Chain A
Amino acid sequence: MYRYFNYFLRYLQHQNLKTYYMKEIRWHGRGGQGGFTASRLLGIAAGMFEEKHALAFPSFGPERRGAPVLAYTKIDNKKIHDRSEVEMCDYVVIMDETLVNENIAKGIKKDAIVLVNSKEGTKFEALKDFNVKTIDATSIALDILGRPITNTAMYGALVAASDLVSLDAATNSIKHEMKPALVDKNVRIVEEAYKTVKAQLS
């Protein structure tokens, strides 16, 4: 009996090792595209709507519209004490394909998933070592929102391509955080992007 209990404990520890592992996400966008908002939405989904812990923060400093900007989300199943910068990420989300260059390929784990807002199937030389998925987020945003603001489409794509948070938690984060007038359209954008990426994966 005791032996089985020990096996069970070890099984639990093994599960913990698998799941208690911080995931780090890096968001690339241009000032005004909402990259930091997306990083916070993911944090809200994980922290407010699931039993997880999250930190979301921009690359610190002055903000300028149009300039390349970075944001980060850290997600874990336990309290996140680590306040150092993100060195190696598990997921990279690039909201504007003109930002892709050699530098963007730095600090990405080998088995990481890189999501790029681009026409389906576009190849990026700088990202050839990674598992790249493309999604035409601009078209989704233009269709539903009427404006090329792609943060929520890329958010939906990330939720589909990862097991960070559920689609429910993601749409709830939008209902919780965004102005009422923006909620419906952005929920539709997240769902549409999610569906598109899931279809690519199946």
Chain B
Amino acid sequence: MKKNKLFISGDEAIAIGAKLARPHVIAAYTITPQTIAVERLSDMVESGELKAEYMHVESEHSAISACMGASAIGARTFTASSSQGLLYMAEGLHYCSGGRYPVVMMNANRSVALPWSIYGDQRDSLGLLDSGWIQVYVEDAQEALDMMIQAYKIAENPKVLTPMMVNIDGFILTHTYEMVNIPEQEKVDAFLPPFETVNKMSFENPKNMGFSSQPIDNTEFKYQQDRAMFDAIPLIKETDEEWAKTFGRRYHGMVENYKCDNADYIIVTLGSVCGTTRIIVDELREQGLKVGMLKIRYMRPFPEKEIQEITANAKAIGVLEKNISFGYEGTVFTNVNSSISKTKARPFMKNFVGGFGGRDITKQEIRQMFATLKEQTEPSKTVEYFNLNVATDE
């Protein structure tokens, strides 16, 4: 049997990662496909394995409120949600980032209603891109566990003090079992010191927190929130480097460049579909095609510089996302395209949109996307819904 390894699901990996970060307070409301993660944490608190307060709140709105309250007195806090639950939390998300409470959340990426669907896509978190949270997207259960611990280190840094959302594809990752290395608690403790905040609510040093602002000073608050996000960028890279030194696993910070050097055709994507895309990149490379994948890890702060550098010499770039902003294009595409449009490069740009509500993204579909980039079919049409089963009059 292998030491320090377990065959577990993405949800369980999240729970173990959260436990290793030693949160003081967990407040969450269960929702598929996040349920197992918080059930496991609840079990750990019940058994005494994790010394934390588990608050059984009646809704997501209360979960985030409880986390903010606990964070204000200097507690390390964790919550988790998905889809409708995350949307119900939306008011609190802005409140939390504005209050500079470094809460860490797991979001199991799931479709939003209507039509009702418990299955995965990324419209829940991408729809909340502007809520002021750091957003990271993971590719497998190991990255999910590792990012739970990295998240606290980044979010709690005094320069950042911004909440962080770790996004993991619902079902495809949350409900798939795989081998995961479990970091040793002592090493995690050395990597992640206890939470210390200057903004601590206490009787000894009373402060006014969660206050209102006037037109004369509101902009300055928002400016500082914005700067904090940019300040997180070098920290995200440093934290990942430090993680690699301690635990031997590296995720390359803001993005991962998978065979993009000298690539003519690049697919930019995020989440679990990065794995399937790797397979196709390897396959097409063997056939002599210069292709690559750019894995976006962080959507906020956005990896503008990294995208500009890595795609500088590409002839065509496709952005593959399980998301659409109705009436325009996918939000990931809008962000990537904006970065590239600030450079002199004018590659062929395509937005591949699909995989909604849990629909499988197949290897053949990804092959086809690379073919579209190579042949540059339908240059006038930016957004392409792949595997669409209704007639269109476009």
Contacts and interface: CB of A to CB of B under 8 A. Distances in A.
Interface in A60-89: 60-62, 80-85, 87
A56 B179 CA distance: 10
Given A83-B273, A83-B275, A57 B176 contact: yes
A156 interface: no
B276 A84 contact: yes
Interface string B1-34: 1100111000000000000000000000000010
Given A83-B172, A83-B272, A55 B119 contact: no
Contacts of A82: 275-276, 279, 363
A153 to B, nearest CB: 21
B275 A60 contact: no
A58 B171 CA distance: 9
A188 interface: no
Contact of A47 (B119, B171, B179): B179
A176 B1 contact: yes
Contacts of B278: 81
B358 interface: yes
B362 interface: yes
A53 interface: yes
B175 interface: yes
A43 B177 contact: yes
A84 B349 CA distance: 25
What DSSP secondary structure best describes chain A's contact surface? mixed
Task: Using C-beta atoms within 8 Å of the partner chain, give the interface range for chain A.
Answer: 20 to 34
Given A48-B7, A87-B362, A81 B176 contact: no
B178 interface: yes
13 contacts: A40-B177, A48-B5, A48-B6, A49-B1, A57-B171, A57-B176, A58-B175, A60-B119, A84-B362, A84-B363, A85-B360, A85-B362, A87-B362
Interface in A32-50: 40, 43-44, 47-49
B1 A57 contact: no
B7 A44 contact: yes
The 7 closest A-B pairs by CB, nearest first: A81-B275, A60-B171, A57-B176, A47-B179, A85-B360, A56-B177, A83-B272
Interface in B360-389: 360-363
Interface of A: 40, 43-44, 47-49, 53-58, 60-62, 80-85, 87, 172, 176
B118 interface: yes
Interface of B: 1-2, 5-7, 33, 118-119, 171-173, 175-179, 272-273, 275-276, 278-279, 358, 360-363
Contact of A83 (B6, B118, B276): B276
Given A83-B275, A84-B363, A172 B1 contact: yes
Contacts of A81: 275-276, 278-279
A57 B175 contact: yes
Given A48-B6, A56-B176, A87-B362, 6 more contacts: A40-B7, A47-B5, A60-B33, A60-B175, A81-B275, A81-B279
Contacts of B172: 60, 83
A32 to B, nearest CB: 18
Contacts of A47: 2, 5, 7, 178-179
Nearest to B281: A81
B23 to A, nearest CB: 28
Nearest to A53: B179
Nearest to B277: A81
